C-alpha cells in the first residue's frame, strides 16, 4: 500500500466490460486485467471516467472493486475512483473502497452544486484527512466544470493531503506550471497525465506516468513509450506517440453517437474486435457502437493498432 503513493509509469483506467444485459462481464474483465498486467503496466485504476464510474450503481461499484482485487491478487497496486457529487458522498465511497482493499483512491473536485476554490481545497483536505489510503486528485474540467489550480495542488501535496494528480484537464500550460511548482517544492506529488494524444509532451513537461484510456486497447504501446522515456529516447517516444495518437482517432470516428459514448464506446469496440471482451455494450442511456461506427474503429485499428495480430475472425 505504501507504494501507491509513489506510483509512476502506466496505470490504465480499466474499462468495465458488460454483458448484453448490462451486468459486469467477469470473464472479459479478467482478460482485460490480465492482458494489462502481462504488458507490464504499473498499476490499475478502476472506476474512472473510462471505467464508467458515473454510470455504475453502488452495488456495481462494489462488485468491480471486489473482482478487480481478486483478479489482480496483489500483482500491481489497485486504485479506485470515489467520484460523486460532493464531499460526504465521496467519503462514503472512500470507506467502501478502502474496506475492499484498494491501495489508493482517486477523487475529483466536487460538482453539481457550484463550488469554488476555497471549498475545493477544503474538500481535498477532508478526503486526505479521513482516507486510510493515499488520495489522488483527478483534474477533469470537462466533467466537473472546475479546474484545479496548480498552486493549490502542490500545497495539498506538501501538506500530505494528496499523493498525486491525474491530469485530464486538457490544459498543457497549467500542467507545465504544476510540474515546475511540484519540482520547486521537492516533488511531493506524483503527476500523471490522462491525455492519450500527448503523453510524450506530458513527460517532457515533467509527468511521472500516464493514465490513458487507450492503453486498454494498446497497453504495449504506452509501456514502450514509458520505457523510452526512462531511457531518454525522445525519437522513439515521438514515433510511438504519433502512432498512438493516430489510433486514438477511434474515439473521434463515431457518427451515430457523440460524447462519452463515442470515446469509451470506441475503446470497448476495439477490445471486442481484438477478442478481449465479449461485447461492446455500454450503460444506459448510451447504446453500443454499431454498423459503420464499428467499421470505422476496425479500419483505424487495422491501420495503426497494436502490432499483435488480431484473433482469427475479428479482422
**Using CB under 8 A as the criterion, which residues of the chain lie in contact with its own copies when the complex forms?**
22, 49, 52-58, 60, 83-89, 91-92, 110-116, 118-120, 122-123, 126, 142-145, 170-173, 176-177, 180, 195, 197-198, 200-201, 204-205, 232, 234-235, 238, 242, 245-246, 249, 257-261, 283-286
Q: 16 a known binding residue?
A: no
Residue placing its CB nearer to its own copies in the complex, 30 or 249: 249
State the Cα–Cα distance between residues 7 and 164, nearest whole angstrom: 9
Q: 146 a known binding residue?
A: no
Residue placing its CB nearer to its own copies in the complex, 16 or 28: 16
Q: Half-sphere exposure of 203 toward its Cβ, with a 13 Å CA cutoff?
A: 25
Query: Listing from the earlier edge strand, what are the strands of the sheet with 164-167?
Result: 9-10, 209-210, 190-193, 164-167, 135-139, 104-108, 78-81, 44-46
C-alpha cell at 57: 450503481
Q: Given 6, 112, 147, 166, which residue is catalytic?
A: 166
By the 10 Å C-beta count (0-12 exposed, 13-18 middle, 19+ buried), 129 is classed as: exposed
Cβ 13 to its own copies shortest distance, Å: 13
Cβ 254 to its own copies shortest distance, Å: 12
- DSSP, collapsed to helix, strand or coil, labels residue 36 as helix
Comparing CA positions, the residue from 188, 131, 142 lying closest to residue 164 is 188
Residue placing its CB nearer to its own copies in the complex, 143 or 185: 143
Q: Is 112 a catalytic residue?
A: no
Cβ 262 to its own copies shortest distance, Å: 9
C-alpha cell at 120: 475545493
State the Cα–Cα distance between residues 213 and 46, nearest whole angstrom: 11
Q: Given 6, 136, 138, 255, which residue is catalytic?
A: 138
Task: Please give the sequence-ordered ranges of beta strands (E in DSSP) within the chain, or none if there are none.
Answer: 9-10, 44-46, 78-81, 104-108, 135-139, 164-167, 190-193, 209-210
Q: Is 255 a catalytic residue?
A: no
Cβ 3 to its own copies shortest distance, Å: 27
Residue placing its CB nearer to its own copies in the complex, 40 or 170: 170
**DSSP H/E element including 65:** helix 58-72
Comparing CA positions, the residue from 99, 235, 94, 105 lying closest to residue 162 is 105
Q: Half-sphere exposure of 26 toward its Cβ, with a 13 Å CA cutoff?
A: 11
Cβ 179 to its own copies shortest distance, Å: 9
Residue placing its CB nearer to its own copies in the complex, 1 or 91: 91
Binding site, by residue number, is 50, 211
Report the catalytic residues: 138, 166
Binding site for pyruvate, by residue number, is 50, 211
Amino acid at each position: 500500500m505504501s507504494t501507491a503513493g509513489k506510483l509512476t509509469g502506466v496505470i490504465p483506467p480499466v474499462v468495465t466490460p458488460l454483458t448484453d444485459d448490462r451486468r459486469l462481464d467477469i470473464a472479459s474483465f479478467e482478460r482485460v486485467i490480465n492482458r494489462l498486467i502481462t504488458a507490464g503496466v504499473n498499476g490499475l485504476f478502476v472506476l474512472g471516467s473510462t471505467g464508467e464510474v458515473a454510470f455504475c450503481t453502488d452495488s456495481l461499484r462494489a462488485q468491480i472493486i471486489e473482482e478487480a482485487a481478486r483478479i489482480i491478487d496483489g500483482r500491481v497496486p489497485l486504485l479506485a475512483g470515489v467520484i460523486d457529487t460532493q464531499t460526504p458522498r465521496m467519503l462514503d465511497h472512500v470507506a467502501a473502497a478502502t474496506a475492499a482493499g484498494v491501495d489508493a483512491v482517486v477523487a475529483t473536485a466536487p460538482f453539481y452544486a457550484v463550488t469554488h476554490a476555497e471549498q475545493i481545497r477544503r474538500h481535498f483536505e477532508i478526503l486526505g484527512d479521513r482516507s486510510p489510503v493515499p488520495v489522488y486528485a483527478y483534474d477533469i474540467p470537462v466533467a466537473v466544470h472546475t479546474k484545479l489550480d496548480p498552486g493549490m495542488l502542490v500545497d495539498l501535496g506538501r501538506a500530505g493531503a494528496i499523493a498525486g494528480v491525474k491530469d485530464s484537464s486538457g490544459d498543457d500550460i497549467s500542467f507545465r506550471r504544476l510540474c515546475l511548482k511540484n519540482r520547486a517544492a521537492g516533488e511531493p506529488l506524483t503527476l500523471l497525465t490522462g491525455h492519450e494524444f500527448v503523453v510524450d509532451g506530458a513527460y517532457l513537461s515533467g509527468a511521472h506516468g500516464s493514465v490513458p484510456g487507450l492503453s486498454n486497447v494498446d497497453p504495449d504501446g504506452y509501456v514502450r513509450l514509458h520505457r523510452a522515456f526512462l531511457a531518454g529516447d525522445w525519437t522513439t517516444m515521438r514515433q510511438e506517440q504519433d502512432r498512438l495518437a493516430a489510433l486514438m482517432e477511434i474515439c473521434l470516428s463515431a457518427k451515430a453517437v457523440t460524447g462519452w459514448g463515442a470515446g469509451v464506446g470506441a475503446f470497448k469496440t476495439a477490445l471486442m474486435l481484438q477478442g478481449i471482451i465479449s461485447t461492446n455494450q455500454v450503460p444506459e442511456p448510451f447504446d453500443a457502437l454499431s454498423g459503420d461506427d464499428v467499421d470505422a474503429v476496425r479500419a483505424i485499428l487495422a491501420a495503426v493498432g497494436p502490432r499483435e495480430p488480431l484473433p482469427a475472425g475479428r479482422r
